[in-house]
Amino acid sequence: MHDKNSSQEWHESSEMRDIAAKYVPGSDAEKALVRKIDKRIVPTVWVLYTLSYLDRANIGNAKVGGMEKALGLTSEQYSVVLLVFFISYVLFEIPSNMILSRVRPSLYLSGLCFIWGCIAASMGAVKNWQELAGVRFALGVAEAGFAPGIAFYLSSWYKRTELAQRYSIYYTATAISGAFSGLLAGVITEHLKLARGIEGWRWLLIIEGVASSFAALFTWMILPDWPATTKWLTPEERALAAYRLKADGIAVAGDKQKPSHSEALKMAFGDWRTWMLVVMYMLATGAQTIQYFIPTLVSQLGYSGYHAQFMTIPVYATAFVCILTFCFASDWKKDRPTFITIAALLSCVCFIIIVSITSSNVAKFVFLCFAVGGIYAACPLTLLWVSWIIDHPAEKRAVAIALVNGLGNSASIYGSFLWPSKTGPRYIQGFAVTTVFVFLVAFLAQVNRYLLAKYPARGLNDDESVMRQSTSTPNEKDRSVSPSVDNKV
């Protein structure tokens, strides 16, 4: 069935042809396969992302927990520390996803987790803000490949109408880790303060970093690789896993006839749909930089110390509910843009109300919860729209996801400067800019819907010219390529 390179490449086989002949969407065999891969993929990537988010975002808790005073951090220095992480994060996303499309994801993703855990733990040893900035830059390099890698990885296992549900569960890690980070930070900074002569905020960074590296020692044994190369699936299951994606119009990762790295780059960079989603995601993630200032915003509402840490939990609990509600509804209705718009407008209205209220801190806190929840729902839906729209080939999809995620997160570079301490306690500058961001996300989602309907995708034909330049013979240039299954609006 397989040649000597079968562990790396998928090709048509007798099993594949048999599956194609009798494939029925939603069959008992397909449901059993999905349940089987769900049990391994969903909880494992959730744990990895929880650890990733803890190690990335715990700097906000550490700042409130004593780091700001210990290192003598000014507002501008703290913004620079946040900025350098995103510089390296943005620069290394596309190269990382290009590597991922050629290697075993179980080893690659777990390896990234082990490395970033070691780097994150080392933040507990910094002596000044310059050292902290350097370690954060290295952390950005290590974490750069994970978020876009998971988005590509999940899109290589699940059909369009299955993806948002799984991704939403995975993405709730941002909310759970945010809430857990507040709880954990409150406990550690309060009860491990000066334990063995080490400050509480340093213990926080060390413990959470070591936890990531420890988990990575086991996750590689649980995660599957690609549908065609996962050894613990039977040949029939591997064929079904690959064909059900092909039937949904999605290119399978590991396909034998794959474009080169340069071809995939040309395809992704030359597609107008990629750039529309880049702009939308830049706006969404620019708004989401509020996450690094949630402890600060909460403390401005009358809470202090570890009470401020604990009061971040309701904010992330609301975000958790919003992520699941909007993403599951998007899959059930087979509609991304409508739910992106609703989520973004929810945040827009709540931010306007927060700025308008001057007397009730309780009301401000409630609307802050829903505003953050709307942002947290809009971000994954926007990123998932990439794999819904750009499905062929898998290597192009990998680059497009990394490009959207990478440039989208570049918004965090300037977003980290939206909330300077001198604008407190109302932070009108940050709230005003964030309100504009989420409004534009809502508006552009509908613009993109209109453009996709007016200029529908042609599947593989969209990239036919790029592929032909390097792979086709003159006799092959008139050969038609099968279109995708729908217009992917």
Confidence band (pLDDT; 50, 70, 90) for 450?
A: very high
d(CA 22, CA 269): 38
* Residue 194 CB neighbour total at 10 angstroms: 10
- Judge contact between 60 and 208, C-beta under 8 A: no
Can you count the helices (H) and strands (E) in the chain? 22, 0
Pull the structure tokens for residue 421: 């301490």
Chain-centre distance for alpha carbon 196 = 37
- Contact (Cβ atoms closer than 8 angstroms) between residue 150 and residue 97: no
* pLDDT for residue 446 is more than 90: yes
- Long-range contacts at 37-43 (CB < 8 A, ≥ 24 apart): 37/157, 37/224, 37/241, 38/166, 40/222, 40/223, 40/224, 41/154, 41/157, 41/166, 41/223, 41/224, 42/166, 42/169, 42/170
Residue 317 CA to residue 315 CA, distance in Å, equals: 6
Residue 472 in this model has a pLDDT that exceeds 50: no
Give 57's pLDDT tier (boundaries 50, 70, 90).
Answer: confident
Residue 460's pLDDT is what?
A: 45
The CA dihedral of 411, 416, 417, 419, to the nearest 10 degrees, is 120
Three-state SS at 347: helix
The residue type of 191 is H
Q: What is the pLDDT of residues 90-136, one digit of tens each?
A: 889 989 988 998 899 999 999 999 999 999 999 999 999 999 999 99
In this structure, are residues 143 and 406 in contact, taking their beta carbons and an 8 Å threshold? Answer: no
At residue 346 the predicted structure's pLDDT band, cuts being 50, 70 and 90, is very high
Residue 344 to residue 280: CA distance in whole angstroms: 11
Beta carbons of 259 and 285 less than 8 angstroms apart? no
Any idea how long the chain is? 489
Per-residue pLDDT, 35: 95
From the CA atom positions of the chain, what is the Rg in Å?
A: 23
- How much is the average pLDDT of 37-64? 90
Furthest CA-CA distance within the chain? 75
What SS3 state is found at 250?
Answer: coil
DSSP string, 27-80: -HHHHHHHHHHHHHHHHHHHHHHHHHHHHHHHHHHHIIIIIHHHHT--HHHHHH
- Other CB atoms within a 10 A radius of the CB of residue 130 amount to 13
Q: Are 442 and 458 in contact (CB under 8 A)?
A: no
Q: 348: closest CA among 276, 416, 433?
A: 433
Residue-level pLDDT at 82: 84
Confidence band of 32 (pLDDT split at 50, 70, 90): very high
Beta carbons of 117 and 143 less than 8 angstroms apart: no
Q: Tell me which of 35-39, 132-136, 162-166, 474-478 is least confident.
A: 474-478
Do 416 and 82 contact (CB within 8 A), yes or no?
Answer: yes
Q: How many C-beta neighbours within 10 Å does residue 17 have?
A: 11
| 3 state DSSP class of 258 | coil
Query: To the nearest whole percent, how much of the chain has pLDDT over 70?
Result: 86
Structure tokens at 45: 């990537």
Residue 12 or residue 389, greater confidence: 389
Handedness of CA 220, 221, 222, 224 (dihedral sign): positive
